[in-house]
Amino acid sequence: MNWPLIISNTLFTAISIQAIAYVLAAIGLNMHFGFTGLLNFGQAAFGAVGAYTFAVLAGQGIPWPASGEPPWPFGQPWPWWAAALAVIPAAMVLALLLGIPTLRLRADYLAIVTIAAAEIIRQALIAPKLDERFGTGGADGLQGFTGGIEKINPWNGRTFYLWKQPFDGHQAFMIVAGWSLVALCSVGMWLLMRSPWGRVLKSIREDEDAARSLGKNVFAYKMQSLIIGGVIGAFAGVVFAVGGRAAAPNDYATAFTFFAWTVLILGGAGRIKGPIVGGLIFWLIIGFTEVFLSQVTRNKVVPTWLVNENNFGLLRFMFVGLGLATLVVFRPQGIFGDRREQAFDVR
């Protein structure tokens, strides 16, 4: 058993780019569910839209459908910052498409529509036709769109160590940039939630008819919440894709959404620091079980008929599930929730 490796690998997983992506996705969900009471089960849709908007624009650019010299902005890569800015309107369009038909209805309808939309987007990204028209890469996804970011990265080509765990300059840069984005989003969220605007959102979470009776345009507020949380979710996708230097349709399957939900519930919905703490804990558990079980099975510490090198991966999620179930039983408000709030029957 190589304990230094186990520990350093676990710690690295907890601060890794994956962890950042899920923390960001959970911050978006916190805006939706924790503060507004919107059930968004399609955060993967926002992640996919963010990742692909960036990957297409910063990679090859959108193919020009006609023949001849493509006019700007078609057929050429965009600068990385322009591609990143374009993620915002793309996520807004998705939020409007999801929100306009459903936000006037009961909460369950948004849940149904978002979970379906996420799958529609993932399946559409696999389609070769979409690749022909927009250069989305089909089932293989896209690579080679991180050049612009690698150019501005001062640590490019270097290798770093977290104790025993090596990682390259690109990862280092994305970890710093990603956690900065997490901090920025959290501060923005904190500023919004202490304002009267945040108070209206919370009142909608509690009882939207009461908010209406006090002169609040509930639909407009829900839409704003969906847009803001969606844009943050889209940047989760960007971080994920740039960090891994690839955008693939199956990265944005339902697991993306439900990991983000797990992170949010673990940390405590409706708390600013909930997603951050939840993300750290979630990835500590995932990282530890991964490397620990891998070591255990390789060194044949447990009998191979019980668990071996090929199937230990499944055990990880059993442990996460067990941890989550224990939490829900003994601390239903999450790590940072307020027990008193749980005592009230919300609906």
Partner 1 sequence: MSAETIPVPQPADGAAGPLAGIAHEPGVAKPDPLLVVDGMRRAFGGLVAVDVAHVEFQRGCITGLIGPNGAGKTTFFNLITGFDTPDAGTWSFDGKPIRKASPYRLARSGMVRTFQLTKSLTRLSVLENMKLGALDQRGESVFAGLLKPLWRDQEREIEQRADDLLQRFKLDHMREEFAGNLSGGQRKLLEMARALMADPKLIMLDEPMAGVNPALTQSLLGHVKELRAEGRTVIFVEHDMDVVNDISDWVVVMAEGRVLAEGPPASIGANPAVIDAYLGAHHDLDLGDEQ
Determine if 200 is a binding residue for partner 1 (CB under 8 A): yes
| Nearer of residues 151 and 347 to partner 1, judged by Cβ | 347
- How many C-beta atoms lie closer than 10 Å to residue 45's C-beta? 31
Contact 54, 84 (CB under 8 A): yes
Interacting stretch for partner 1, rule CB under 8 A, among 60-68, 81-89, 215-223, 229-237?
215-223
User: Which stretches does DSSP call E strand in the chain?
Assistant: 142-143, 159-162, 165-168, 246-247
Interacting stretch for partner 1, rule CB under 8 A, among 115-123, 174-182, 214-222, 253-261?
214-222
**Cα torsion through 75, 79, 81, 84, rounded to 10:** 20
Determine if 107 is a binding residue for partner 1 (CB under 8 A): no
Task: Choose, by CB under 8 A, the member of 75, 169, 188, 323 that binds partner 1.
Answer: 188
CB of 270 to partner 1, least distance (A): 8
Task: Choose, by CB under 8 A, the member of 151, 157, 209, 339 that binds partner 1.
Answer: 209
Number of residues binding to partner 1, judged by CB under 8 A? 33
Q: Where are the alpha helices (DSSP H) in 103-213?
A: 107-126, 128-134, 147-152, 169-193, 196-206, 208-213
Q: Which of residues 217-256 bind partner 1 (CB under 8 A)?
A: 217-218, 224, 228
Cα–Cα distance measured from residue 43 to residue 47, given in angstroms and rounded to the nearest whole number: 6
Find tokens 């090198």 and name the residue.
309
Contact 238, 51 (CB under 8 A): yes
Q: Which of residues 303-322 bind partner 1 (CB under 8 A)?
A: none
Find tokens 């390789």 and name the residue.
298
Helix (H, G, I), strand (E, B) or coil at 142: strand
CB of 92 to partner 1, least distance (A): 13
Task: Choose, by CB under 8 A, the member of 67, 310, 339, 340 that binds partner 1.
Answer: 340
Task: Choose, by CB under 8 A, the member of 70, 162, 202, 319 that binds partner 1.
Answer: 202
Which spans of this chain sit near partner 1 (rule: CB under 8 A)? 188, 191-192, 194-200, 202-203, 205-207, 209-218, 224, 228, 340-341, 343-346
